Amino acid sequence: MEIRVEAGDVTQVAAGAVVVNLFEGSSHPEGATAAVDRALDGAISRLMADDEIKGKLYEATLIHTLGKMPAARVLVMGLGKREELTQERVRGVMGEACRAMRKAGVARAATIAHGAGIGGMESQAAAQAVAEGAILGLYTFRRYLTRPYELKDMEEILVVERENNKLPALERGVEMGRIMSHATYLARDMVNEPANHMTPTHMAEAARKVAEEHGLSLTILEREQMQELGMGALLGVAQGSQQPPKLIVLEYKGGGNRTPLGLLGKGLTFDSGGISIKPSEGMQEMKEDMAGGAAVIAALGAIAQLHPPVNVTGIIPATENLPSGTAYKPGDVLKTMGGKTIEVISTDAEGRLILADALCYARRRGLSPLVDAATLTGACIVALGDICSGAFSNNQEFLSQVLKAAETAGERAWPMPMFPDYKEQNKSDVADIKNTGGRNAGAITAAQFLAEFAETTPWVHLDIAGTVRADKDKGYQVKGATGVPARTFVQLALALA
């Protein structure tokens, strides 16, 4: 689908539908909505008077113009309360609007820049939110469906603006939204892939495609190289699978001699739990355990397109965690690249093991600061549900930067405590540390485990176990993989630049 900015009057655009909006509690239409209302001889005002249009968030009212406008339909979308308007709400409204139009068979639509004008939002920010909401809200994953798709894909959306001086800002916003959305598309596609089509080798090939398309440097470390580096934790997890592990390293170099930002992503392309095997119910979702790695690959591609003056290195340890005669076992002791030893209590606490070696590798390469994303713990889902990711850090200033990037991107994260007392639960009698601290505070003790390998480097860990997937269509999220936190990573790189 193409999104374009066009100068003109939204009441005069020939399209399948025109999208306007209304704030909750409004007594009358305003701005472009008022112009459309006049063109429709007061139809919107009458529906408001009859309480059929209230402006509640995501409320959608489709009105047939019956020849009173060149557009065949008008879609009035509720923005919710005026004082609660954000880019995230505009994204959601546009996602809902586009799915409603696709269901109605609309191929070409026009919209105003929701949030700009009377909403008070900057034109570029509003246009970016409109583009992201439209593109992401229409996402589908149909690669393995052989039956025809029952809905017609939308082909074009015009963002219409009367004031010519606002067009450049709107165009910049639409382009930023396109890049951000396509990065999220890639992350969603990779996570939605079945595990037999997204092995560590497939993941490395996806990174290679991104590197070639956007001019990134790519290094893929094979098992033998990991052995030479002493990555015993990553190799320990990998030894139960016949699929060879990969350590994927993508580099964007736009900042001269600046120290590179390190983005790390867990790349468990399938997690059965290993010898500590998971229950069979819901295990099919464990193909999603590489979502952090997918987000890193997608983010590097977007960063390369935006050309910020910063250096960014992405590191993805990729493997499967399967039970077999060669699998690592509870009670084993693994030695990491940094020399620390780990007692394995549960082979289902494998994500922190592969990230331990990835963090050691990142520090050896001099990357700083570091941020990792991982579907790490069910405990984080218990704590925060699917509303926001958990954020853990050893550096308050950097944590604030990451949280701000997440808020701007619309991928919410919430800071979690990292009191030193929690380290007690990770103490081992036979090794330097054990790989699980028990049931209580499980997300925190997992983060404290990772902190041992970040050491003094400024570092943030994002536990995305709860936010990796959506169970239903809502706003610009669709059922399945969300693509979190690809846009946060891009936004962070832009902010640091």
Q: Tell me: the pLDDT tens digits for 421-455? A: 999 999 999 999 999 999 999 999 999 999 999 99
CATH code where residue 408 lies = 3.40.630.10
Do residues 124 and 171 make contact, with C-beta atoms less than 8 angstroms apart? no
In the sheet with 17-22, reading across from the earlier edge strand, the strands are 2-7, 156-161, 108-111, 17-22, 73-78, 60-64
Do residues 494 and 299 make contact, with C-beta atoms less than 8 angstroms apart? no
Q: Average model confidence (pLDDT) for the chain?
A: 97
According to DSSP, the residues that pair with 109 across neighbouring strands are 17, 157
Mean pLDDT of 135-159: 94
Antiparallel, parallel or unpaired: β 370-374 and 459-463: parallel
Specify if 312 maps to a domain: yes
Q: Containing H/E element for 359?
A: helix 351-364
Tell whether 291 and 324 lie within a shared domain. Answer: yes
Rounded distance between C-alpha atoms, residue 204 and residue 245, angstroms: 10
Burial (0-12, 13-18, 19+ Cβ within 10 Å), 325: exposed
Tell whether 152 and 206 lie within a shared domain. Answer: no
The pair of structure tokens assigned to 140 is: 């589908």
Query: Does residue 118 have a pLDDT over 90?
Result: no
Range of the domain at 267: 182-496
Specify if 171 maps to a domain: no
Specify if 172 maps to a domain: no
Phi, psi angle pair for 481, to nearest 5° = -65, 140
The residue from 352, 363, 412, 469 that is catalytic is 352
Tell whether 80 and 138 lie within a shared domain. Answer: yes
Specify if 166 maps to a domain: no
Tell whether 135 and 251 lie within a shared domain. Answer: no
Q: What is the secondary structure of 270-319 as a DSSP string?
A: EE--TTSPPPSTTGGGGGGGGHHHHHHHHHHHHHHHH--SSEEEEEEEEE
Rounded distance between C-alpha atoms, residue 241 and residue 221, angstroms: 17
Dump pLDDT digits (tens) for 454-477: 999 999 999 999 999 999 999 999
Structural domains of the chain, count = 2
The DSSP symbol for 189 reads H
Nearest in space to 136 (alpha carbons), one of 192, 180, 173: 180
CATH code where residue 115 lies = 3.40.220.10
Tell whether 64 and 186 lie within a shared domain. Answer: no
Do residues 121 and 177 make contact, with C-beta atoms less than 8 angstroms apart? no
Tell whether 362 and 274 lie within a shared domain. Answer: yes
The DSSP symbol for 85 reads -
User: Is 479 annotated in the active site?
Assistant: no
pLDDT of the residue at 411: 98
User: Is 352 annotated in the active site?
Assistant: yes
Rounded distance between C-alpha atoms, residue 267 and residue 374, angstroms: 8
Coil/strand/helix, residue 435: coil
Burial (0-12, 13-18, 19+ Cβ within 10 Å), 262: buried
The DSSP symbol for 457 reads S
The pair of structure tokens assigned to 425 is: 């639960």
Tell whether 323 and 353 lie within a shared domain. Answer: yes
Specify if 165 maps to a domain: no
Do residues 102 and 128 make contact, with C-beta atoms less than 8 angstroms apart? no
Do residues 13 and 166 make contact, with C-beta atoms less than 8 angstroms apart? no
According to DSSP, the residues that pair with 204 across neighbouring strands are none
According to DSSP, the residues that pair with 249 across neighbouring strands are 219, 315
Dump pLDDT digits (tens) for 330-348: 999 999 999 999 999 999 9
Dump pLDDT digits (tens) for 222-233: 999 999 999 999
Dump pLDDT digits (tens) for 347-362: 999 999 999 999 999 9
Query: Does residue 117 have a pLDDT over 90?
Result: no
Rounded distance between C-alpha atoms, residue 159 and residue 111, angstroms: 5
Q: Which amino acid would we find at residue 115? A: G
Tell whether 297 and 403 lie within a shared domain. Answer: yes
pLDDT of the residue at 427: 98
Do residues 288 and 197 make contact, with C-beta atoms less than 8 angstroms apart? no
pLDDT of the residue at 149: 85
According to DSSP, the residues that pair with 205 across neighbouring strands are none
Coil/strand/helix, residue 25: coil
How far from 420 is each of 281, 338, 414, 425, 451, CA to CA, in Å? Answer: 36, 21, 19, 10, 11
Tell whether 375 and 405 lie within a shared domain. Answer: yes
Instruction: Give the angle subtended at the CA of 138 by the CAs of 133 and 144, to the nearest 5°.
Output: 145
Query: Does residue 119 have a pLDDT over 90?
Result: no
Tell whether 106 and 203 lie within a shared domain. Answer: no
Dump pLDDT digits (tens) for 264-317: 999 999 999 999 999 999 999 999 999 999 999 999 999 999 999 999 999 999
pLDDT of the residue at 477: 98
Mean pLDDT of 12-27: 97
Range name among 27-36, 111-120, 360-369 with the lowest pLDDT average = 111-120
Which residues are within 8 A (CB) of 395 and not within 5 positions of it... i.e. 6 or more apart? 369, 458, 459, 460
Do residues 250 and 301 make contact, with C-beta atoms less than 8 angstroms apart? no
Tell whether 156 and 13 lie within a shared domain. Answer: yes
The residue from 54, 82, 223, 278 that is catalytic is 278
Task: Kindly report the number of other CB atoms within 10 A of residue 282's CB atom.
Answer: 8
Rounded distance between C-alpha atoms, residue 420 and residue 284, angstroms: 36
pTM higher than 0.95 for the full model? yes
Tell whether 70 and 129 lie within a shared domain. Answer: yes
Percent of the chain surpassing pLDDT 90: 98
